[in-house]
Structures are given as structure tokens and as C-alpha cells.
Amino acid sequence: MNKQNQNGKMQCEIGMVGLGVMGRNLLLNMADHGFTVAGFDKDKNKVDSLRKESKEKHVYGAFTVEEFLQLLKKPRAIMLLVPAGHPVDLVIDELLPHLQPGDLIIDAGNSHFTDTNTRAQMLQGQQIQFLGVGISGGEEGARLGPSIMPGGPKAAYEKVRPILEAVAAKVNGDACVTYLGPGSVGHYVKMVHNGIEYGIMQLIAETYDLMKRGLGLNNTQLHDVYRLWNEAELNSYLLEITSNIFAKQDEKTGKQVIDEILAVAKQTGTGMWTSQSAMELQVPVPTIDLAVSMRDLSVFVKEREQASKLYKNPMMLANVDHNIFIKQLQGALFSSMIMVYAQGMMLLAVASDKYAYELNLEAVARIWRGGCIIRARILEDITAAFRANHHLSNLLLDPNLAEKILMQQNNLRQIVSQASFLGVPVPGLMVTLSYLDAYRSVWQPANLIQAQRDYFGSHTYERMDTEGTFHTEWEQDVST
Ligand code: 6PG
């Protein structure tokens, strides 16, 4: 250890705090690209295993702050990959007394964007630079190339730009990282990324339910359907892993793992944060909201058991041509998936205005094309849509994407109506279809809502024929 520290003293271009799988993998990725790096974790075992894994590379390890900081070149660049929330503050508090003006802290975890704002302000007062960086791609992405969403002062980004560009995923040679803007924008974009992730995962889960309970397909058939879908316009990381999941055998039982997994969905909060932020900014993201609600509903196992006895029917096998149904389902999923991106992107556009992020949505779509969990072929079209119109308020208004949705809208309608007769829940698909129907409609029944508000609360309303605000005495007879 001492010998190693002597060798590495003041040599490392970047240090990583937190040597969990993500931190360790990202550090090894940096080392693969020729950077000299240091890892710090209080858990000595993690430091030892980092050293073991990185034999020939320029990777140093420490399990005390002092030793760790000794390894870093000045001004220092320190990345944190620790669980979001209080642990981030604890690490910053521990580092702070040892840092000097000009040192840089990069929070690369899934921090809430408001925490990032608070930390940036506090650190600015201490002349410590701070970047809030979203990283997506899971363990494998961290090791082989994630999508990286950085936000904060541009000068701070420039310091670590070569490292981030080197380790990021590449799509046709283009690194899946770019400077996104000031403040907490990196964590905001990552949060919305995860909201979209929740939405797409829910939609895929609904197609699984329909094919399993509605058509009676087995896991092998499901594996094949998802594999074929992934070869066409639905091509995406989430479809790819879904197909693989249905082929995976359980070592313990020899059966397929999927059938051994308890149907209770967990969450770490980023999807819920997306919904909360969207509500606050008054941007409709119904598919994402719904995805969060369905994870919540999955937890009520006992109640669902009770209800299944009370509400027995209907739940039946579809009497349909399987090939036609699966084709319709493919189209329904594809069009809905576009609309989840549309909801997320619309939220980003509004948040960018509200929080002065100066976001370039083309750049966001571009860096999501590789490395991250929501990478998908359709992101090429989404990137092109924002390239053609930087002020596009909703992707549904892009002519090319509109054409794709229009081509599939009848399939989506067919699936939603058949599912409702079968009694198979497809709330994500349903709400997405209704989102489309509401969004494309000039007339809304909101006039009635305004009338009701005015009726019971004198909240007033606007008229179509005259400017101004009006109130009606609803219970007063006009003829009297
Ligand atoms: C990613 C993932 C990653 C993590 C999610 C899981 O982009 O690499 O989104 O951030 O796997 O946070 O979120 P839930 O635990 O809430 O499903």
C-alpha cells in the first residue's frame, strides 16, 4: 500500500470516492483509456479488490481521505459515486477541510437536482468547483462506455472533458457526452432519463402480460417475439435485455428465472421525482406517472390477492390470430414508446426555461443514443427532429414522428380495446393513447371544469367571444 502510494503520489488525474460496482467500473474504464486514477473507499476490501482487478493499469487505491488526496494532481478532480442523498453530503463534509480553492468535486450519482443546486451554492462559497453529472448504463455501461450528462460551470467541465469523452459510449465515433448547461441540469436530465426508463419498462411489461395471459405464450415464444421486435424499429437496449431475460434459466431450479421472481417492483425514486417535478412545472407526463403508480400498486400483494377473489372475471384468453395480434402489439408499443420520449422531452424543454438551463434537446437525444438504459434506434429520429427544429415544443409535432405514430395508431387502439375486454391491465398503453387523443384535440371538456369551478367557488372563467374574466350566478334564473 505504502509503496503504491509513493508511486502514485500527486500523479492521478482523477480520484473516485465510492468503489461500489459503478465507481470501480468507471475508474477501471478511465484507466483503460490511459488515465492515472485513484479510488477511495473506507471499505478496505473494496480497495484491495480494485487493486487486484487493475494489476497492470495506473490505478491507485486508498482507504483514508488523507492518503487519497495525496494521490491526486492539483487542482484536484474528485468524482463521487455514492448513494444519493445524505451520503453525498457526508462525503463532501469529509473532503472539504482538506481541499483547496480550485479543486473540483463531481457528483456522478443519481442526486436530486435541488440537492445539486444547494451543494453547488455552498461549494461556490468555498471556491470549490462542482459538477452534477448524470451517468447511465448500469454496471456494464460504467465499465465499457456509459452515457454521461454533465452540468455545472463550463470551465469545470473543460477540466475533465478529455476523461469523460474518452470513457463515454461512442455512436459512430461520436462520444455520448456533452456539456449540457449550468447548475443542476445534468442531474435534471438524468432524472428525466429515468422517468422515460420507467415509462418504457411499464409499456414493455404490459406487452408481456398481454402475450402471457392474453395469448398464453410461453417464455421461449416471448423470447422470440422480443428478439424479433428488437431487430426492427423497436431496436433498443430495453427490448434486447427483455428478450434475453426470457431465455435465462435459474441455476437453482432449472426453470426460467423470470417465473421465480416475485412480482413486486422496487424503485429508488428517480421516476417519482420526474413525476413530481412535472406536476410542479405543470407538464403532462401521464405515462411516466402511471409507471410509478403501477410499481406502487405491485407492492400491495395481500390486497391484490383479496381483490382477485372478489373480482374474479373477466380474464380470458384472446380468441384472435396470434400473428396479427403480435404485429398490432408491436406497433402499439412502438408508437407509445415515441410518446414517452415526447413527454420526457417536453418536460425538459419547460424545465430548461424555468431553471435557465439553456438545454439543447438535440444534444440530449444525441448523447442518449448510446451507453444509457433508454438507448434506442428511434433516438436517431428524435435527434433529427430537434436538429430540424430547435424550438420543437413536443415531439408529436414533428412530421416524421407524427407519420410513424399515425401508421400505428389503429394498432394501439385495437390493442387497448382488446385488452380492456380481456381484463388484462394495460394502463400505460391506455393512458398514452388518451394522451395522444387529448393532445390532438382542439376542443377539450375543460369548459365544463371551468364552469364547475365558477359554480362552486366563483373562480371565474374566460369566454371565447369576449376578452376578460367572467362569473355567472349559476343558480339565478336568467328569465327572472
Ligand atoms: C441508469 C439507471 C440507473 C439505475 C436506476 C434504477 O441509467 O443506469 O437508470 O440509474 O438502475 O436508478 O432505478 P430504480 O431502482 O428506481 O428502478
Task: Sketch the domain layout of the chain as residue ranges.
Answer: 14-183, 190-439, 446-475
Question: Is 373 close to ligand 1, i.e. is its CB under 6 Å away?
Answer: yes
Query: Whose alpha carbon is nearest atom 9 of ligand 1?
Result: 194
Tell me the C-alpha distance between 163 and 29, whole Å. 10
Question: Is 372 close to ligand 1, i.e. is its CB under 6 Å away?
Answer: yes
Tell me the C-alpha distance between 104 and 93, whole Å. 14
On the question of a cis peptide bond just before residue 101, with omega within 30 degrees of 0, the verdict is: no
Which is the closest atom of ligand 1 to the Cα of 268?
16
Q: Are 370 and 149 in contact (CB under 8 A)?
A: no
Q: Are 268 and 278 in contact (CB under 8 A)?
A: no
How far away, in angstroms, is 138 Cα from ligand 1 center?
Answer: 7
Cα within 13 Å of Cα(177), Cβ side:
23
> Which residue from 443, 460, 442 is spatially nearest to 451, judged by alpha carbons?
460
How far away, in angstroms, is 131 Cα from ligand 1 center?
Answer: 20
How far away, in angstroms, is 416 Cα from ligand 1 center?
Answer: 28
Tell me the C-alpha distance between 343 and 131, whole Å. 26
Is residue 94 among the annotated active site residues?
no
Dihedral Cα 306, 292, 20, 143, nearest 10 deg: 120
Catalytic residue among 13, 46, 67, 197: 197
Q: Considering the domain 190-439 in this protein, what is its CATH number?
A: 1.10.1040.10
The 8-class DSSP code of residue 60 comes to E
**Cα(first)–Cα(last) distance of the chain, in Å?**
95
Phi, psi for residue 472 in degrees, rounded to 5 = -115, 140
> Which residue from 20, 104, 92, 13 is spatially nearest to 59, judged by alpha carbons?
13
Is residue 197 among the annotated active site residues?
yes
One digit per residue, pLDDT tens: the chain, 480 residues?
A: 334 445 667 799 999 999 999 999 999 999 999 999 999 999 999 999 898 887 777 899 999 999 999 999 999 999 999 999 999 999 999 999 999 999 999 999 999 999 999 999 999 999 999 999 999 999 999 999 999 999 999 999 999 999 999 999 999 999 999 999 999 999 999 999 999 999 999 999 999 999 999 999 999 999 999 999 999 999 999 999 999 999 999 998 999 999 999 999 999 999 999 999 999 999 999 999 999 999 999 999 999 999 999 998 766 778 899 999 999 999 999 999 999 999 999 999 999 999 999 999 999 999 999 999 999 999 999 999 999 999 999 999 999 999 999 999 999 999 999 999 999 999 999 999 999 999 999 999 999 999 999 999 999 999 999 999 999 999 998 775
Question: Is 202 close to ligand 1, i.e. is its CB under 6 Å away?
Answer: no
Query: Angle 35-120-188 (CA atoms, 0-180°, nearest 5)?
Result: 85
Out of 1.25.10.10, 3.40.225.10, 3.40.50.2000, 3.40.50.720, the CATH code matching 14-183 is 3.40.50.720
pLDDT, residue 8, reads 62
The 8-class DSSP code of residue 13 comes to S
Query: Whose alpha carbon is nearest atom 11 of ligand 1?
Result: 138
Which is the closest atom of ligand 1 to the Cα of 197?
9
Q: Is 446-475 assigned to CATH 3.40.630.30?
A: no
- Ligand 1 pocket test target in 204, 373, 375 with most atoms within 8 Å of CB: 373
Catalytic residue among 13, 46, 190, 233: 190
Tell me the C-alpha distance between 151 and 119, whole Å. 13
How far away, in angstroms, is 73 Cα from ligand 1 center?
Answer: 32
Residue 101: all three cell numbers together: 480553492
Query: Whose alpha carbon is nearest atom 10 of ligand 1?
Result: 136
* Residue 131 bridge partners (DSSP): 106
Which is the closest atom of ligand 1 to the Cα of 201?
17
Question: Is 136 close to ligand 1, i.e. is its CB under 6 Å away?
Answer: yes
Amino acid at 111: S
pLDDT, residue 339, reads 98
How far away, in angstroms, is 393 Cα from ligand 1 center?
Answer: 27
pLDDT, residue 1, reads 38
How far away, in angstroms, is 377 Cα from ligand 1 center?
Answer: 20
Residue 104, classed as helix, strand or coil, is: strand
Which is the closest atom of ligand 1 to the Cα of 265?
17
